[in-house]
């Protein structure tokens, strides 16, 4: 039986101009999540890997050596793509990292790099209108609820199918 898909219809009590603004803001957020979610997944798995390697290590020097070697690898892999992210995408990435790890970026930096570096990065983030300590609370924050919906959309789509593993492209960017 032949069929035709119709255009999306939005029913709202908002005036058309306001509705267009809401749709544009959602599309911007959706694009930012699609761009940054692979990086957040990679960060989550990397942090879990580092935590697993550090579980049996007692000496502070050995811990620093493990962290430093992994940090060098990560800088080589992700510095170039991260330079291309906008400030808005960086804010979304921080939310997604918080979602993946359960810790905000400030706590992660403080744990692995120390309190001074965490405070320094927090100050830099403040000048860009952001906050490393921002929580991820999809139950109470409408933006986080939208992020959660978009992430579930990605997880349930072919884009994230198990037959097609998530790969962060670092070359050619």
pLDDT digits (tens, 9 = 90+) for 27-52: 999 999 999 999 999 888 888 888 88
| Single pTM value for the model | 0.81
**The domain containing residue 49 runs over which residues?**
16-160
- Report yes or no on 5 lying in a domain: no
pLDDT confidence of residue 74: 84
- Report yes or no on 120 lying in a domain: yes
Confidence grade of residue 169 (pLDDT, cut at 50, 70, 90): low
How much of the chain exceeds pLDDT 90, in percent?
46
**For the chain, what is the domain count?**
1
- Report yes or no on 92 lying in a domain: yes
Average pLDDT over every residue of 128-137:
91
- Report yes or no on 7 lying in a domain: no
- Report yes or no on 82 lying in a domain: yes
- Report yes or no on 104 lying in a domain: yes
- Residue 133's closest CA among 108, 112, 101? 108
- Report yes or no on 25 lying in a domain: yes
- Report yes or no on 150 lying in a domain: yes
pLDDT digits (tens, 9 = 90+) for 49-106: 888 888 888 888 888 888 888 888 888 888 888 889 999 999 999 999 999 999 999 9
**Residue 120 pLDDT exceeds 60:** yes
pLDDT confidence of residue 160: 57
Confidence grade of residue 8 (pLDDT, cut at 50, 70, 90): confident
Instruction: For residue 95, count other CB atoms closer than 10 A to its CB.
Output: 26
């Amino acid at each position: 039986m032949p069929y035709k898909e119709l255009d999306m219809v939005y029913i709202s009590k908002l005036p058309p101009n306001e509705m267009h603004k809401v749709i544009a803001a959602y599309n911007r957020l959706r694009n930012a999540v699609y761009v940054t979610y692979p990086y957040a997944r990679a960060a989550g798995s990397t942090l879990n890997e580092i935590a697993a390697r550090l579980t049996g290590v007692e000496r502070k020097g050995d811990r620093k050596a493990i962290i430093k070697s992994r940090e060098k690898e990560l800088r080589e892999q992700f510095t170039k793509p991260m330079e291309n992210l906008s400030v808005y995408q960086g804010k979304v990435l921080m939310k997604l990292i918080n979602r993946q790890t359960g810790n905000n970026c400030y706590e992660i930096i403080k744990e692995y790099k120390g309190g001074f570096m965490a405070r320094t990065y927090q100050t830099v983030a403040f000048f860009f209108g952001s906050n490393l300590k921002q929580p991820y609370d999809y139950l109470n924050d409408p933006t986080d609820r939208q992020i959660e919906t978009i992430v579930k959309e990605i997880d349930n789509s072919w884009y994230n199918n198990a037959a097609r593993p998530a790969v962060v492209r670092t070359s050619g960017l």
